[in-house]
Chains A and B, each alone.
Chain A
Amino acid sequence: MSRIDTKYLIIGNSTAAIAGVEGIRSLDEHGGITLISSEPEHTYSRPLISYLLSGEIDEKNMFYRPADFYEKNRIRALLGSEAIHVDDASKTVFTSNNDQMHFEKLLIATGGAPIVPDIPGAKCDGVFTFLTWKDAAGIRKFVQNRKAHNAVIVGAGLIGVKLMESLLSLNLKVDVVELAGHVLCMILDENAAELAQNKITSQGVNLHCNTTVAQVLTQYDVVNGVRLENGSRLDCDILIFAIGVRPNIAIVKNTGIKTNRGILVDERMQTSAPDIYAAGDVTQGYDFLFGANRPIPIFPNASRQGRIAGVNMAGGNQNFMTGMAMNSVNVFGLPIISVGFIHPPGADCDVLASLDAAKSTYRKIILRDNRIIGLILVNDIDRAGIYTGIIRSKLDVREIRDNLMTNNFGLITLPKEYRKHVVSGMGIEV
């Protein structure tokens, strides 16, 4: 048991935590930073675990920052050490080794924990979730040792879709079970999902939508099948839950730090406790399109929140007012981008859409009050960021409405003042 005093304490080692460190160092070169993470690895990119599993990248490309990152930023990194409780009153964090860490400013970036449904039989060997490097390594090892043939993925969301690719490249037969009516239901509408599904099934993946796993079947305490809600049975040598994550808020249970589904933060990333900040998948921050706080477990969100939290912890004053859902995913080579709303949230909205099934191309823009609040692009993703910039800047698009769907949509179709700022001025912050 030891006592550690530190100016800045960061719980976490992934996107939000690293962005937090960089945010702090942008204003405070010397203040002591201690970072604690339950995982032992040097900071790595979580989204890359599917690329690692498929063999597309090798281990050295997993790392999110260069090898000397901690050293260069003068961080005392306690990797493989788990923080289990935050006491906001005494400004102390307790670890699993019984260490007590006293801080001046704290950043909680514990991320999300994978959702594991309570299904009969699911507590056996061969059942995995897919969040960490360890998970990817474990899956690969299990598949090898078991000489697995059949894989079942529960959930056809972002994680599930990437997992399909990885498992196919491991020469497994892949079945996917999805509760909703189509894949990627959180980020795609029916038209876009159909294009994605065509691609997925053309690769040999079996999709089972509108159903769920009712029971996990085992033999010798190892999974060997699943029974679906609709009665059918699927062979299964390995079962992976890819339903999603929920904010990992256990660490602030029974404290004064307010939570809902996630840790509630204001636009400065501060929690209800002074000097305690949170960022990333663990938070429930302001979604300006929704007009309310909700978890947005998205990479660029975590990154921005982390940086803003870090800057504010070091005495700066920055806000994050443009949090929103945004995703870019490659489905077997078909690029898809989704930002904001995927369905019009009210009757006062306009939808512009164009679908070319033969070319697997789709473009959909949702407008409310002459502002873009939603975007889906399939295949034709060039210059997508311009739309994102328009959404964030809340630009009134009534003058250029007719140009939004053209093939050569670009800065040239935007009002000159907006364009001048972007083309000739400083890089813009939205």
Chain B
Amino acid sequence: MPRIVAKEHLCLGCRLCEIYCMVAHSRSKKILKAYSQEKDTLSPRILVEDAGRVSFAVQCRHCENPQCVEACISGAMSRDPETDAVLCDTDKCVGCFMCIMVCPVGAVLRSKKGKVVSKCDLCVESGLPACVENCPNEALHYVED
């Protein structure tokens, strides 16, 4: 299963991963344009939890038996057979938030783009995940088991 692993002891709590994730999933894909024109719909798919001395980034673990897929009433959540990533088809998502209710990591977030959810897609369309590439301390690693 491919997924992104966070090394807690290396996380600085700087939240750059959230910013680069939002930009990578924005329409314009350019940071200044995204922040000035898409401000209301920018939604990160990764969340940094920060308690001062400890911090780490949380995103979808692309679990082997994904509970979000199990709970999804519309079939929007599914496992992509090619990449093994668990993806959310936002056209099918109706915003019932069952996935938010069951994800044990709390990795599914409410998107600002209407009712649907925001969830890590391993940047399957663009190559190396944006958060992994841009973490200033290399605290995020892309692993495939």
A contacts, CB < 8 Å to B: 19, 45, 47-48, 51, 56-57, 61, 63-65, 299-300, 303-304, 307, 326-330, 335, 337, 339, 381-386, 388-389, 392, 408, 410-413, 420, 422-424, 426-430
Contacts and interface: CB of A to CB of B under 8 A. Distances in A.
Interface in B102-118: 102-110, 115
A140 to B, nearest CB: 18
B65 interface: yes
27 contacts: A19-B70, A48-B73, A48-B74, A56-B94, A300-B98, A304-B70, A328-B98, A329-B96, A339-B101, A381-B100, A381-B101, A381-B110, A383-B100, A385-B67, A385-B106, A385-B108, A386-B106, A388-B102, A408-B49, A411-B49, A420-B8, A422-B61, A423-B5, A423-B105, A427-B64, A427-B66, A429-B65
Contacts of A61: 74, 91-92
Interface residues of B, number: 47
Contact of A385 (B3, B49, B105): B105
Contacts of A56: 94
A300 B94 contact: no
A307 B70 CA distance: 9
Contact of B115 (A330, A388, A422): A330
A61 B73 CA distance: 11
Query: Helix, strand, loop or mixed for chain B's interface?
Result: loop
A412 B64 contact: no
A269 B32 CA distance: 54
Interface stretch (B14-22, B35-43, B51-59, B120-128): B51-59
Given A303-B70, A423-B8, A429-B65, A51 B94 contact: yes
Nearest to A424: B5
Nearest to B107: A385
Contacts of B105: 385-386, 389, 411, 422-423
B144 interface: no
Nearest to B89: A61
A389 B97 contact: no
B94 A57 contact: yes
Given A61-B92, A412-B51, A412-B55, A385 B101 contact: yes
Contact of A47 (B47, B96, B99, B100): B96
Contact of B100 (A45, A304, A382, A410): A382
